[in-house]
Amino acid sequence: MARLTTLDVCAFGYVTREWEVFPDGKVREIIAGPPYYFSAALARLGDKVRVVTKVAGEDADILEGLRGLGVEVINIPARSTMKSKLLYKPSGREIEVLSRGEPFTLDDLRLCREARTKYVYLGPLSTEDFSLEFVRKAAEVAPVVLDVQGFTRRIAGGRVEYVDWGWKEEAAPSISVLKLDDKEGKLLTGLTEPEDIIDFLHSIGFREVLLTTAWGIFIGVKGRGIFSAPFKVKEIKGRTGRGDTATAAYVHSKLKGLEPAEAAVFTAAATSLKLMKPGPLSVSEEGVLRFVREEYGVEVFVQ
């Protein structure tokens, strides 16, 4: 596929091979990773997206699904692919890392610089995937959207440990949109209420915060307020990728010029549709807007 000269989003992160292990012993192999669900959702919504990832040659097949959706995928040759087991236990989910991806380097940013890029997305899976310098240099290419998930995950002894993001204040000026969930919010702030988490993150320099909870979406725009919308889900069938889909829907909302209150509803609606079906988001922008009209009773106008 020829490279695009104009991109809505250039996304960095690992496309992964994972195995979900359930309490009854059932095992399901899936393709995942933050840029996988994120870029698939953007493509469904009609945006031009490039994924820059690092996958070993023997695992290159896991990239074909994204290419089939029209996502441009650039795979930097790697010795290993990020692989893990997701162990679902009564006490919660544990992550066993089978093999690790190679960290991204400053030189990798050239793969976005040569395109006219509106946003750079970073989707780390561990504390070592991106450096502070990488984040700062990425912000020179385009506004940065960061899913903080990986910066709260330290890999030790083949297991994931959950930690605070030690250099968040240094990175804050370089981040245009920070995405996190309420559990990550507690790690970063020590707080539990969405509004309190967002206020704290604003106070240390983050300008826009997208926060997901079991209830729905919270969007905090510094100086403008906090906006929220609930999920409308009859039955959850596709929990994996919820946050990545929410991030994509919010970025799409920004690309389309929606106001924060409208963006909250659009993001909640798109994420609800994803939650009701396994795999990446499978509906178009018009499908999300129809769901907004039917389930939220409002009209959202996109450019």
302 within some domain: no
Give the model's pLDDT for residue 195. 98
| Distance between CA atoms of residues 266 and 177, nearest Å | 17
303 within some domain: no
Our count of domains for the chain comes to: 1
Instruction: Dump pLDDT digits (tens) for 61-119.
Output: 999 999 999 999 999 989 999 999 999 888 888 999 999 999 999 999 999 987 889 99
291 within some domain: yes
| Distance between CA atoms of residues 265 and 263, nearest Å | 5
Give the model's pLDDT for residue 17. 96
Give the model's pLDDT for residue 120. 98
Average per-residue pLDDT for the chain: 95
| Distance between CA atoms of residues 160 and 21, nearest Å | 16
111 within some domain: yes
Residue 2 has pLDDT above 80, yes or no: no
Residue 303 has pLDDT above 80, yes or no: no
| Distance between CA atoms of residues 37 and 66, nearest Å | 9
Q: What's the CATH number where 121 sits?
A: 3.40.1190.20
Give the model's pLDDT for residue 1. 44
130 within some domain: yes
- In sequence order, which residues have a C-beta less than 8 Å from that of residue 297 and are 6 or more positions away? none
CA distances from 227 to 66, 105, 210, 262, 264 (A): 32, 36, 10, 9, 6
| Distance between CA atoms of residues 55 and 29, nearest Å | 17
Long-range contacts of 135-141 (CB under 8 A, 24+ apart): 135/171, 135/174, 135/175, 136/171, 136/174, 137/106, 137/109, 138/12, 138/109, 138/112, 138/174, 139/174, 139/175, 139/176, 141/10, 141/109, 141/112, 141/113, 141/117
The answer to whether residues 73 and 53 touch, using CB atoms and an 8 Å cutoff, is: yes
Give the model's pLDDT for residue 3. 52
256 within some domain: yes
Instruction: Dump pLDDT digits (tens) for 208-247.
Output: 999 999 999 999 999 999 999 999 998 988 888 899 999 9
- Mean predicted confidence (pLDDT) in 269-279: 95
CA distances from 242 to 41, 111, 179, 238, 257 (A): 11, 27, 12, 8, 23
Scan for tokens 């010029």, then name that residue.
257
H-helix or E-strand containing 199? helix 194-203
Structural domain including 46 reads: 6-296
Residue 7 has pLDDT above 50, yes or no: yes
Burial status of residue 69 (CB atoms within 10 A of its CB: 0-12, 13-18, 19 or more): middle
- Mean predicted confidence (pLDDT) in 185-208: 98
Instruction: Dump pLDDT digits (tens) for 127-141.
Output: 999 999 999 999 999
| Distance between CA atoms of residues 117 and 20, nearest Å | 35
301 within some domain: no
- Mean predicted confidence (pLDDT) in 23-27: 93
199 within some domain: yes
| Distance between CA atoms of residues 151 and 206, nearest Å | 15
Provide the percentage of residues in the chain whose pLDDT is more than 90.
89
Residue 193 has pLDDT above 50, yes or no: yes
